[in-house]
Structure 1
């Protein structure tokens, strides 16, 4: 074999190896909506595409190339001003699952072998004007363990928002189901009834538990719902969705731990290279980043903070806890930004796991352990700014405070009871005040206690002489948004009004009233 023939053979082999290790394709504008690239349909330049770790921009012709392994999910990062195709359940079809050998053999099946990559792995986008002002709907932990609880989720939450208008999309923050991964299909069919494009992230109850590597913990999730790490744009907001559950726990191989693998944080870093610094970056994951305790691997949080340090506008969303709290991270926690890093740990649509007494529809009250009623969230975006509204299921939108106080007191001796105000979106930073019968406003005291209304409802189960239907609520936790004051005793017989007002972190004021009676013994 001469040198020239050897050179040709080497070149051929190198080209073959390169072709096998690179995914190629085009991101194009789908003018006729058939999700196939027709001759007249042109590629779109400067669109980000990822293999789950690397991120590249398409060239002037809409072309891209990405490294490929034997287990990748390729996806287009939806740019502002475009929409992606949706499947029959309104879930984005903006990804391609590449598992040539298929998923490992598991109790809950993952993807079947996908074979070789297409010669051109193309992604369709459709031009769609987007306002900088928009609204998103957020669900925390639907978490049904049975088909009956799927019905509770549908009747108790989904029916209230079905057909909602002027909302861009929805997002569920993990624990879409409760360990039975076959329920992912029922979950999808239920969420479809909201009528919005819907994004999802994985939770610790969405995982394949019979795995030995974290990389395989979401095989069933991926086959039903797509990638667990991805991003997209809407208006001037960049959303990053992440799996933050390490399973099995790398410390002892048992259970799970909050955190990220290196490749996930590499994805975040690579992704943000193409995001303008002035845009708002919203991160969504399941387990909160943790202010205290050992539920999250701190070196992962620190690297995330380092990646985000040059982005002044950020918001983090988490769920998992089945109570609601506002977390603020500063220099003490390793955050380097000029203002605290804010994480909203969102209350859940399943509340306290479908527990408590049932209403006329047969749906459990499911009040959370900190006294927050079950509900959902609206994120209201205005450019790179936002406000948050928590909506209690079955209540008016302005129901933001629960007042707990006696309903009647004697006129001759008053009461040693207190007035409690549970401001569902509150934190220790907020000011909460009260007044009696339109008198002067006076401050209430922030307190870390169990919510008394929740405790009273819980003790009904323990004190009952008969077995109550349904499930006893969980034991209470100390609320992070509770205020109290000594009951304003008055000897004037008749009906009186206590009014409570609270100002939230966005400068908005909410009020709530409660009446009580003073009676002669």
Structure 2
């Protein structure tokens, strides 16, 4: 049915606001009554165009702003006792966007109702319902506030209330990404925002949660008015006990609709992480998820029509609230500067940097990518830009108890992948260009954990220079960009350092933090893989028979230290979440063997990625090939057939063991 304009009625709303300040405000405005839309399948029947309800002389305000629970009088002719008001969201189709409100009173010339406290601010079509009949009054924007009469203050452009159970909550941190303030005793805040980021957000206090849009926590509100117009933005909290909680740390998904990624994500990662989530919930924990960036892949946003909106479809299948971090591949490649390239992320997911509290832990999410994209190269600097550093200082200044654990998530790694010096000691350096500025902001705090991704490998860094800071570079959910599990490839899921594709699990009880790495599709106790190097000889004929190199040297450059036979009875052990407080022990016939820490490539990754690509006469992508890693350990046995007992103890005292019967076969699906 073609839309038909209605000029035979006018809607008049008198908005009566009664607040705790003793103020009453009446708002009057009028617009032309809205058109009647075409009926769509599954929607209510269109409003009665013949106006059999005989409602006339009505004028509808284009925008209504009121306190929650505010009483409204709509004047017009023909209202009756028992009439109901039907609110239908213009933005949220379906049951979640429909509300029926009973009238408080009605007479021939007006109807009175009270806005429900749970009615969301939104754009609505408003109808009168009387039995089976209905009549469309028109459309309006409804903004409902905890207190619509907070007085303005000079220079303050955003104000509002943070509240829970109808009471304002004090000392909640509120920010626009530049300015930082806190709520007063009544839960009221004021912010002198320039509105550059077009949002305001709260740092969710410990033992509270916010509502979520499916599983995206709604800790921010968007700003839509010019900087000189004061906007009211409220935040409702729900009291919970999350002192005991678990965070799933999800690095580098790289969803792009290629290399069978969605199938692997949906059939491998999702059931695995959701089972982990359920297990921890069953044990009495609140469970959350925190990404580490590169959920998408900017190079395929437009060619494969797969970007952040498509990622949200998959994100919503994770059975926990998901806090997102921005990665270099989550920038819009149609922009050639950092701020503009971030706009899509802000539009779809929200702030690019922010903080929140869970229990007694303060979490901070940073964007440490400065996107350049010169000549469509999608290049970038790993840097925390100056505005963000200044915001970080202000945010941390609100944490007065320096024993509060600080957990910071950002995409690019703070430290380089550790190497071993000539004496076998671990050495590393900073990777972020202004790392010292970042580290300086953390002075005075006793416990800081930095969670990073980007590398698609695992490593942990603690240094004598910053003993209060520990970095955890967490390997990728996509492993080697979903290649090794792609149809026709190795049939496994392995990262560049040999770690299985997986995710971090952080279990927190008060201020006690424990962490681990969970391999997708494996038991949580799967923490290392041992190779019988007598069985590891990587030849072109065996692993890439179709490869036609111009020189044998090309194969050897990929096979590296495994290009030649090794008959020295050596065993290589890859302990992917190792840190300096772990212990690796090996015994042979009850006698301990000398364990040496070494820096080597993982042989299983070489045959699972590089050899597979070479076998198709395709050049392996340089960023995807096997990397030297220092979480490797080597022992020498007395014979090729002795059985070894490998015992690995993590920093929390948990022991992982393998009785290694040798010879141990080398293969794509080995453990």
By the TM > 0.5 criterion, same fold?
yes
Match of 1:170 in 2: 289
Pick aligned residue for 2:220 from 95, 99, 106: 95
How far off is 1:284 after superposition? Answer: 0.3
Structure 1 residues 461 and 271: alpha-carbon distance in aligned structure 2, compared to 1, 3 A threshold = same
Q: Does 1:76 align with 2:202?
A: yes
Name the structure 2 match of 1:312. 446
Q: In the superposition, relative to structure 1, how do residues 142 and 477 fare at CA in structure 2: closer, same or farther (>3 Å)?
A: same
Q: Whole-Å Cα distance in 2 between the matches of residues 156 and 48 of structure 1?
A: 38
Question: Contact 2:370–2:380 (CA<8 Å) still a contact in 1?
Answer: yes
Could you tell me how far 1:348 is from its partner in structure 2? Answer: 0.7
Kindly state the Cα deviation for residue 486 of structure 1 after the two structures are TM-superposed: 2.0
Show structure 1 runs of 5+ residues with no match.
1-15, 32-40, 102-114
1:100-119 to 2 correspondences below 5 Å: 100=225, 119=231
**1:345: which partner in 2?**
473
Distance 1:459 1:260 in 2: 34
**Aligned counterpart in structure 1 of residue 247 of structure 2, from 122, 136, 139:** 136
What per-residue deviation string (whole Å, max 9, x for no partner) do you get for residues 156-180 of structure 1?
2012122632252001100010114
Matched with 1:120 is: 232
Q: CA–CA distance in 2 between the matches of 1:24 and 1:484?
A: 61
Pairing partner for 2:592 from 437, 441, 447 = 441
Asked whether the 8 Å contact 1:314–1:342 carries over to 2, the reply is yes
Q: Which runs of 5+ in 2 are unaligned?
A: 1-150, 417-427, 537-565, 665-671
The answer to whether the 8 A contact 2:288-2:321 is kept is: yes
How far apart are the structure 2 equivalents of 1:120 and 1:254? 38
Q: What displacement does 1:358 show?
A: 4.8
Residue 461 (structure 1) aligned with residue 612 (structure 2): yes
- Asked if the contact 1:21/1:69 (under 8 Å) is kept, the reply is no
Match of 1:262 among 381, 386, 393: 386
Helix, strand or coil at the partner of 1:215: helix
CA contact (8 A) 1:231 1:238 kept: yes
State the alpha-carbon separation in 2 of the partners of residues 308 and 460 from structure 1. Answer: 44
Normalised to the residue count of structure 1, the TM-score between the two structures is 0.80
Q: Give 2:266's aligned residue.
A: 154
Q: Deviations over 1:179-236 (max 9, x none)?
A: 1444322222212222101110100000023334322221111111110110000111
User: In the alignment, which residue of structure 2 is the partner of 1:502?
Assistant: 648
- Structure 1 pair 401–254 and aligned structure 2 pair: CA distance change class (3 A): closer
Structure 2 Cα separation of the partners of residues 157 and 363 of structure 1: 17
2:568 corresponding residue in structure 1: 416
Q: 1:483 to 1:363 in 2, by over 3 A?
A: closer
Contact preservation (8 Å) 2:254, 2:481: yes
Residue 78 (structure 2) aligns with: none
Deviations 1:304-340 (A, max 9, x none): 2222111001100000001111122332xxx3xxx25
1:332-377 deviation per Cα after TM superposition (whole angstroms, max 9, x unaligned): xxx3xxx2521000011000100125589x9953311111110111
Kindly tell me the number of residue pairs found equivalent between the two proteins: 456
> How far does the alpha carbon of each residue in 1:97-123 deviate from its partner, in whole angstroms, 9 at most, with x for none?
23558xxxxxxxxxxxxx986742111
1:512 pairs with one of 658, 662, 666: 658
Q: Does structure 1 conserve the Cα–Cα contact (< 8 Å) formed by 2:588 and 2:637?
A: no
* Alignment equivalent of 2:328, drawn from 192, 200, 204: 204
- Contact 2:574–2:633 (CA<8 Å) still a contact in 1? yes
Check conservation: 1:157, 1:393, Cα contact below 8 A: yes
Q: Is the 8 A contact 2:223 2:231 kept in 1?
A: no
Deviation at 1:407, TM superposition (A): 7.9
Higher-Rg structure is 2
Deviations 1:112-171 (A, max 9, x none): xxx98674211111111223x321111110111216422321222012122632252001
Change in 2 beyond 3 A, CA 1:118/1:18: closer
Distance 1:217 1:194 in 2: 27
Instruction: Map Cα deviations across residues 52-78 of structure 1 (whole Å, 9 max, x no partner).
Output: 122211011111011121423210110
